[in-house]
Structure 1
């Protein structure tokens, strides 16, 4: 019997100890506020880690008592302390009626047992207004009208959008015109040289370069015979550039008298020996061959004056259409640019008139 009584005593003491661990506290950050101001109540509970804590729940604009309402409720904050855990939650209150309000204790559920905080008092102060002199602060104001109406600006806004669209279109056309390759349709003045004039000019170039034939006879005779071959091809009308020296001489014999081509044949023979047999010539022989080349050109040339003439390139239908398209794009680009400039001036003028009014 004594043992049973001892056990019950121990259990009762343990229960009292557990109850003593729970502590509830409510604190106002201000005991006085003006009408419409806000005040915060911090509700906190100290208990052990294993306890289940439930704070009172209020919906926004719910009145705790008549005249005092809850605006907001924060999340529950949990902090570890030396003797257990501190749970806290902040409630934001306000009041729109002046007076002294008694806030009843808040009820908190800890492990299915209700604990109450202490009661609080909140004083709401009104603002004294001197209604006998309304002009003391601000005078009465007439009904004000909006200085700008949408109807005044809508057409300017529309014109601005139109101008931006036209500018974008103009830039697109400009890119198309810029990226196309230009087609030249200007008149060219072509001056043609006669065959003997070209040949004499080439030989004069050989003389001006002062080739030492004794040092590089192959290059010297190659340039000299190439000038003669081009002259023969243009003067007599057969492809001398692709023929051998003997073929050229035989072809010329059928066209010219042998006395006109005898020296030419000797020149080609020496040139072939130099180019293919590494034949060494004398300085006098080189000069003689050069003189013979000029003599052949002068004896066979045809003096015919060819005047400068206008040359018009022949354009295809596609090129003609391209020219027309490019000209049309230029006209469109210039027209759109002028239109945008006109719109800009008109928009600026319209804005200035509205601001003046």
Structure 2
């Protein structure tokens, strides 16, 4: 009875040991995605290594353009990819890209892979490389080119260009409207003039020469003489010293001049203004020699205080009115808007033309 039981148990034990042994042994499986390719085409050879988890797997190394077998080149290879499996195993895969340029049936030997230091050989494969059939009987026979394919019209492809064209037309109308506005809005032209500048002392001496030519100093109308003489001095002082002498009294003018002038010269000018005030307001009568002396004192004062080396020309910049300023600002805004719209129109037109050309090819 015992022998009969053992006779049935032994096969099961043997099968179980065989399964354990086969599952523990690493396996190398090679496969190719295409067994036949045209000359120059590519095929992909994948090597799968099934081993226990954590096994050290070393694949064969091939450099680019190196032959895996005579006539079959390796173009490139991928990095190993690990995939977990059941029974505490994992699959490590690596793919090689192959090509060939000679017609032949090439045997690919089994790939040698080292697993935990031991060499395991995979299954062999074959790759058939075929060439293009050539009509050797009629080598000079040529076929005409194929007709152009008539692609169907798709509104989804043309609708963006249509709406962009509508936008382009609208922008052109706006740009034309702005151009018309710009033409109607006349430009504001301002010209800077260079005029000859009459210096204060020249102007004052010219006025005094006019007084002398009219001989007012010897006329009976002394009030007119002193009024013109003092007004000439006041105007000169205003332009020369920079304070409102025309609106000041004689005493105020003398006080301001004391800060800058010679005391003797100031005293002579003070005497002139006092005499003029007496003539104009107190009906004081002067002698002819006194009038001449005051005239000489006025000329001396101008000569002593005149500024030399001042520019004889000045630049006159006209001032714009508020309306001119608004008009100028509006023209600048219109020009900027036209330039921007013009740039957008050109870019949009180029975009539309390019894509229409692409669609019509």
Q: TM-score, normalised by structure 1?
A: 0.42
